[in-house]
Amino acid sequence: MQVYKVFMKILRSKMSIAITYLAIFLFIGISSANNSPNQGNFSENSAGIIVNDLDKSEASKALIEYLGQSNKISEGAPSDREMLDGIYYNPSRYYLTIKEGFGQKLAGGETDGILAHAAQEGSYYESLVGSKIDLYLTTAKAYVAAGSTAEEALSKAAAALEKKTEVTIVSKKAEGFGDMESYFKFIPYIFLSVFIFALCPVIMTMTKTEIKNRIFSSSISPKRFLFETALSSLSFMAAIYLLVIILIPVFVFKADVTHDMEIAWLNSLAFTVFCASIVLFISNLISSEPLVSLIGNIVSLGMSFICGVFVPLQYLDGSVKTVAAFLPAYWYEILVSALAGSNGQVYSASLAVKCILIQFIFAAAFVAATFAVLKAKEAKKTGNTQNSQALPA
Amino acid sequence: MLFHNIKYNTLASVREKSIIFWLMLFPVILATFFHIALIGVYDKDILFNTIDVAVVEKTENPNFRKIMDSLSEGDDKMFNTTYADEEKALKMLDDGDVKGIIYVDPKLSLSVKAEGLDQTIIKSFIDQYSVTESVIIENALKDPGSIGDVSAAFSEELKANEQLKLSDGNMNTYMTYMYNLIAMVCILGTTVGTDIARRNEANLSSLGIRSCVSPTGKLTKNFAGLISGCIVQSVCTLIAAVYIVFVLRDDLGIPFPMVVLTSVVGSWMGVAIGFFFGTVGKFSEGSREGLSIAFSMVLCFLSGLMVGDIKTVMMEKVPWFNNINPAALVCDALYALNVDGNLDRYLVKMLTMAAVTLIFTLLGFIMTRRKKYASI
């Protein structure tokens, strides 16, 4: 197994970049998977409301308590600049100022300009919190109009607002896979990066004409060379697959091995096979090592941005999605979303088969393209040899 | 001699393949991906858009229908309403044509496929309707004469919650990725700065050995290297800025001359930091280059280039760090230009960048002087 040993020796020198990518992925993937929203009962999206209560009346406290039922409330008196930074970097933030005289004016049925807010203009969160505040104030105002005292109106409004609409989630719930979506969705980026940056330079080194000539002048046959090179590449890929796709979900996330999880493993296996084919293609297409960095970055980042790895599929433009459909990472992401019941995807066995099959077809296409590149290279080499032989001495 | 050195240092830098890739091509590629994937997200994810909803009327409720119809009209309508039977509505929900199904049975209920902001807004609307209806009925039962006043209280338009206008800038939060991209190119100037030290230090490269035995003074050589590095780096940063503003046509919210000024000062800072790094310690050429790229990328990561939320975390947990992180300084300077109505914050950031540049340049010069080699 001389070739295998040499391959692994060269691979060790290229491992630093693979380890860096893996470490960053595991940090982000594990932390985001742990923060995934609970997929049980319907829970409302909540805003982070920072309240500056200048009135400090019973009415203002009641309003804060009401808003706190479905939002995260904190009190403070931020400056305009702090508010600006807050809403710019965190669009779910809502700064509410309860002005002096709020309680008194509300008791008198007057509501104009009793509150002020800062939020991303025209945003969902501005609309959501704004409608809740309006509902509270109009309900209290209605009770005052009906003859209740201010205190009575507030307590009656609070009681009336406790009524909540019944919400049913009708989608098929993945058997525990929902929490794993934010982990599995990053796989295309990490696998493409790790495999291209670590394996391509090694394969390129191993297939250099000088190295090959030296190896073939020994007792190692070309078949054995090819076999051991393929075996070493596959064992590296298998080790990464085993660690990232099976061991971490099972032992770190304590995920159950359900049917959905098995489909996710199969989906990742199909993508790993595609990665193997693209590594083979790039290694044979280019001969300069610095180019690996360029092509690797373009392929991994490009595919990730276009196919919904970094940005959820539902936010991508229709034209971007049309282009993405010609890339395997898109089909990988479709299946992950379907398993998790997100991005408007619904899981079905036929969808799973389709997504996995398309990835295998892409892999087969790249293997065929690699053979074409090798054939063209061979033809060029033969042509050059014949030309040099035809030259007069 | 200074100009001769500047000319050839510039030519040598431009011919470096790694510089062409990392400082010219890579930012352009990354900016294209950011543009394709992120810039439009603001309109879809943050700004309120009309919500597609299906209504299944198991019993008639003319009041509810009237309200739904009024909310489904006009340019800034809240809902796109489709009245359908249950089977069709469920199919629409499955296909992603609607975000939720409102059942009128006679109590209102909601069916959704997933949680989200659209679904929360639909639920909030139904809550609002149900509460209004129940309060009117409750008061009508107690005192029928109060119906007019109670209904008026609900139908009156409220002007209770004034909006504070804090900025006239572009509030697209995803634009910070573009600011961070420009910051990244500036900070990747550390590779150019490291290269200056490599070319002039005898213990770092054979070029340095030749340079050291030449009669040109070290100060002149390093100074020429820094000037050429700053020129090359500024050009690289400006290529990225021009590409973002004029090719991708992304609205940074900043007048272009100010983008140029910030990019140039940021670029000099990156080169100065790299120059200092290049003169410290006895690392090999490869390790030095690797360390400077890793250092730059860590700074960019902490400034929010890879994960935008990191910026918020840093602002809340270690706010002082953003005042000294070179990548965050460039990003914050561009952000301040965009959102602030004055230049106060911008000037502080620019002065800090100038101070960092000066300190690292001086430290670099101090590190390179009086070096002697036993054997070169």
Burial label, B84 (beta-carbon count in 10 A; 0-12, 13-18, 19+): middle
Question: Are A181 and A309 found together in one domain?
Answer: yes
- Whether chain A has a CB inside 8 Å of the CB on B170: the answer is no
Chain B residues touching A133 at Cβ < 8 A: 160-161
- Whether chain B has a CB inside 8 Å of the CB on A79: the answer is no
Chain B residues touching A81 at Cβ < 8 A: 340, 345
pLDDT at B262: 97
Q: Is the predicted pLDDT of residue A243 greater than 70, yes or no?
A: yes
CB-CB under 8 Å, B117 with A128? yes
CB-CB under 8 Å, A88 with B120? no
Task: Give Cα separations from A286 to A283, A295, A363, B25 (angstroms).
Answer: 6, 10, 19, 18
Task: Name the H helices within A69-174.
Answer: 80-89, 102-107, 124-145, 150-160
Chain B residues touching A45 at Cβ < 8 A: 115-117, 120
pLDDT at B202: 79
pLDDT at A393: 45
CB-CB under 8 Å, B159 with A145? no
Question: Could you tell me the CATH number of the domain that includes residue A52?
Answer: 3.40.1710
Could you read off the pLDDT of B242-260 as tens digits, one per residue? 999 999 999 999 999 999 9
d(CA B149, CA B239): 65
pLDDT at A38: 47
Q: Report residue B331's pLDDT band, with 50, 70 and 90 as the boundaries.
A: very high
d(CA B30, CA B188): 14
Question: Are A338 and A267 found together in one domain?
Answer: yes
**Phi then psi dihedrals of residue A166, to 5 deg:** -80, 130
Q: Which B residues in the span 41-60 are in contact with A, Cβ-Cβ below 8 Å?
A: 41, 44-48
The answer to whether residue A43 is domain-embedded is no
Could you read off the pLDDT of A312-364 as tens digits, one per residue? 888 888 888 898 999 999 999 999 988 887 777 778 899 999 999 999 999 99
Q: Report residue A33's pLDDT band, with 50, 70 and 90 as the boundaries.
A: low
Could you read off the pLDDT of A104-122 as tens digits, one per residue? 888 887 888 999 999 999 9
Token pair in block for residue A2 = 């001389």
Chain A residues touching B297 at Cβ < 8 A: none
Query: Strand A115-118 to strand B108-112: parallel, antiparallel, or no bridges (unpaired)?
Result: unpaired
d(CA A179, CA A194): 24
pTM: 0.82
Find the mean pLDDT for residues B95-106. 89
- Whether chain A has a CB inside 8 Å of the CB on B121: the answer is yes
CB-CB under 8 Å, A317 with B40? yes
Question: Are A231 and A128 found together in one domain?
Answer: no
The answer to whether residue A381 is domain-embedded is yes
d(CA A109, CA A219): 98
The ipTM, to two decimals, is 0.86
CB-CB under 8 Å, B94 with A147? no
Q: Report residue B32's pLDDT band, with 50, 70 and 90 as the boundaries.
A: very high
- Whether chain B has a CB inside 8 Å of the CB on A117: the answer is yes
CB-CB under 8 Å, A320 with B115? no
d(CA A355, CA A270): 9
Token pair in block for residue A23 = 């470490």
- Work out the mean pLDDT of chain A and round it to a whole number: 86
Find the mean pLDDT for residues B270-292. 81
Chain A residues touching B21 at Cβ < 8 A: 290, 293-294
Residue A166 CB: number of other CB atoms within 10 A?
Answer: 13
Among B353, B151, B164, B206, CA closest to B267: B353
- Whether chain A has a CB inside 8 Å of the CB on B34: the answer is yes
- Whether chain B has a CB inside 8 Å of the CB on A294: the answer is yes
Chain A residues touching B17 at Cβ < 8 A: 290
Please name the residue that has the structure tokens 């990561």: B301
Token pair in block for residue A166 = 């019944």
- Whether chain B has a CB inside 8 Å of the CB on A295: the answer is no
pLDDT at A380: 79
The answer to whether residue A9 is domain-embedded is yes
Share of chain B above pLDDT 90, in %: 47
Considering only CB atoms, B46 lies closest to which of A91, A163, A294, namely A91
Task: Give Cα separations from A33 to A272, A280, B340 (angstroms).
Answer: 21, 32, 36
- Ranking A130-134, A245-249, B114-118 by mean pLDDT, the lowest is B114-118
Considering only CB atoms, A315 lies closest to which of B45, B110, B120, namely B45
Chain B residues touching A71 at Cβ < 8 A: none
Question: Are A221 and A310 found together in one domain?
Answer: yes
Q: Is the predicted pLDDT of residue A45 greater than 50, yes or no?
A: yes
Rounded CA Rg of chain B: 30
Q: Is the predicted pLDDT of residue A385 greater than 70, yes or no?
A: no
Question: Are A10 and A60 found together in one domain?
Answer: no
Query: Strand B51-57 to strand A115-118: parallel, antiparallel, or no bridges (unpaired)?
Result: unpaired
Could you read off the pLDDT of A5-19 as tens digits, one per residue? 888 888 888 787 778
Task: Give Cα separations from A285 to A200, A280, A299, A367 (angstroms).
Answer: 10, 9, 14, 12
d(CA A259, CA A256): 9
pLDDT at B115: 78
Cα maximum dimension of chain B:
106
Residue B346 CB: number of other CB atoms within 10 A?
Answer: 21
Q: CB–CB of A190/A18 below 8 Å? A: no
Q: Is the predicted pLDDT of residue B153 greater than 90, yes or no?
A: no
Indicate the helix (H) or strand (E) that contains B163: strand B161-163
CB-CB under 8 Å, B128 with A146? no
**Phi then psi dihedrals of residue A51, to 5 deg:** -100, 130
Single residue among A107, A133, A160 that ends a domain in this structure: A160
Residues B343, B345, B346, B351, CA torsion sign = positive
Question: What 3-state DSSP class applies to A344?
Answer: coil
Question: Are A16 and A155 found together in one domain?
Answer: no
Q: CB–CB of A18/A175 below 8 Å? A: no
CB-CB under 8 Å, B150 with A142? yes
Chain A residues touching B94 at Cβ < 8 A: 346
DSSP B74-100: STT-SEEEEE--HHHHHHHHHHTS-SE
CB-CB under 8 Å, A163 with B131? yes
Question: What 3-state DSSP class applies to A257?
Answer: coil
pLDDT at B186: 95
Chain A residues touching B162 at Cβ < 8 A: 113, 115-117
The amino acid at residue B267 is S
The answer to whether residue A168 is domain-embedded is no
Buried b / exposed e along B170-202 (16+ C-beta atoms within 10 A): bbbbbbbbbbbbbbbbbbbbbbbbbbbbbbbbb
- Ranking A85-89, A128-132, B197-201 by mean pLDDT, the lowest is B197-201
Considering only CB atoms, B312 lies closest to which of A89, A115, A315, namely A89
Number of domains present in the structure of chain A: 2
- Work out the mean pLDDT of chain B and round it to a whole number: 88
Single residue among A138, A160, A182 that ends a domain in this structure: A160
Question: Are A342 and A317 found together in one domain?
Answer: yes
d(CA B193, CA B196): 5
**Phi then psi dihedrals of residue A183, to 5 deg:** -85, -50
Q: Which A residues in the span 205-244 are in contact with B, Cβ-Cβ below 8 Å?
A: none
**Phi then psi dihedrals of residue A285, to 5 deg:** -80, -40
Residues in chain B: 376
Find the mean pLDDT for residues A21-47. 70
Q: Which B residues in the span 218-277 are in contact with A, Cβ-Cβ below 8 Å?
A: none
- Whether chain B has a CB inside 8 Å of the CB on A110: the answer is no
The answer to whether residue A165 is domain-embedded is no
The answer to whether residue A166 is domain-embedded is no
Domain architecture of chain B: domains with CATH: 2-42+170-368 (no CATH), 49-155 (3.40.190.10)
d(CA B206, CA B336): 45
Question: Are A152 and A114 found together in one domain?
Answer: yes
Chain B residues touching A142 at Cβ < 8 A: 135-136, 139, 149-150, 153-154
CB-CB under 8 Å, A127 with B121? yes
- Ranking A48-57, A72-81, A130-139, A370-379 by mean pLDDT, the lowest is A370-379
d(CA B119, CA B99): 6
Question: Are A223 and A304 found together in one domain?
Answer: yes
Considering only CB atoms, B46 lies closest to which of A124, A135, A302, namely A124
User: Three-state SS across A346-382?
Assistant: CCCHHHHHHHHHHHHHHHHHHHHHHHHHHHHHHHHHH
Question: Are A33 and A52 found together in one domain?
Answer: no
CB-CB under 8 Å, B171 with A120? yes
Q: Report residue B311's pLDDT band, with 50, 70 and 90 as the boundaries.
A: confident
- Whether chain B has a CB inside 8 Å of the CB on A321: the answer is no
Considering only CB atoms, A302 lies closest to which of B33, B90, B311, namely B33
Q: Report residue A39's pLDDT band, with 50, 70 and 90 as the boundaries.
A: very low
Chain B residues touching A67 at Cβ < 8 A: none
Could you read off the pLDDT of B218-230 as tens digits, one per residue? 888 889 999 999 9
Residue A218 region by backbone torsions, left for phi larger than 0, else alpha for psi between -120 and 50, else beta: beta
Q: Report residue A77's pLDDT band, with 50, 70 and 90 as the boundaries.
A: very high
Q: Report residue B36's pLDDT band, with 50, 70 and 90 as the boundaries.
A: confident
- Whether chain A has a CB inside 8 Å of the CB on B152: the answer is yes
Q: CB–CB of A359/A273 below 8 Å? A: yes
Chain B residues touching A114 at Cβ < 8 A: 160
The answer to whether residue A24 is domain-embedded is yes
Find the mean pLDDT for residues B17-29. 83
d(CA A349, CA A339): 10
- Identify whether B106 is preceded by a cis peptide bond (ω within 30 of 0): yes
Could you read off the pLDDT of A91-104 as tens digits, one per residue? 899 999 999 999 88
pLDDT at A363: 95
Question: Are A30 and A120 found together in one domain?
Answer: no
Indicate the helix (H) or strand (E) that contains A197: helix A187-206
**Phi then psi dihedrals of residue A207, to 5 deg:** -100, 10
List, in sequence order, every residue forming a beta bridge with A115; answer none if it has no partner. Answer: A98, B161
The answer to whether residue A116 is domain-embedded is yes
Find the mean pLDDT for residues B119-135. 91
Question: Are A375 and A247 found together in one domain?
Answer: yes
Task: Name the H helices within A207-258.
Answer: 209-216, 222-241
Q: CB–CB of B150/B135 below 8 Å? A: yes
Domain that holds residue A68: 48-160
**Phi then psi dihedrals of residue A121, to 5 deg:** -65, 130
- Whether chain B has a CB inside 8 Å of the CB on A121: the answer is yes
Q: Which A residues in the span 13-72 are in contact with B, Cβ-Cβ below 8 Å?
A: 28, 37, 42-45
Q: Is the predicted pLDDT of residue B215 greater than 80, yes or no?
A: yes
